[in-house]
Structure 1
Amino acid sequence: MVLQKTDIFRRLLFVPIVAVVVAAVLRLDLAIRYLNKITEDIHIPTSSFAHYKPTKSSVKIKADSKEVPDKDRIDLNKAELSELDSLPEIGKARAEAIILQRAKMGGFYSVDDVLCTPGIGLKTLFEIKNMVTVSNEKL
Structure 2
Amino acid sequence: MTMVIMRLTMGLAGCKGNSIDGKWNVSGAEGMLPGSTATYEFNGGQATMSLNLKNPQIGEAIINISGPYTVEGEKLKLGAQKLTVDDSKLTPMAKMAMSSPQAQAAMTKGLSENNEYTVKFDSSDQVLLTGKKGTATLTRVK
TM-score (norm 1): 0.23
Work out which of the two has the higher radius of gyration on C-alpha atoms and give 1 or 2: 1
The structure whose RCO (Cα within 8 Å, separation 6+) is larger is 2
TM-score (norm 2): 0.23
The structure carrying a bigger helix percent of its residues is 1
The structure carrying a bigger strand percent of its residues is 2
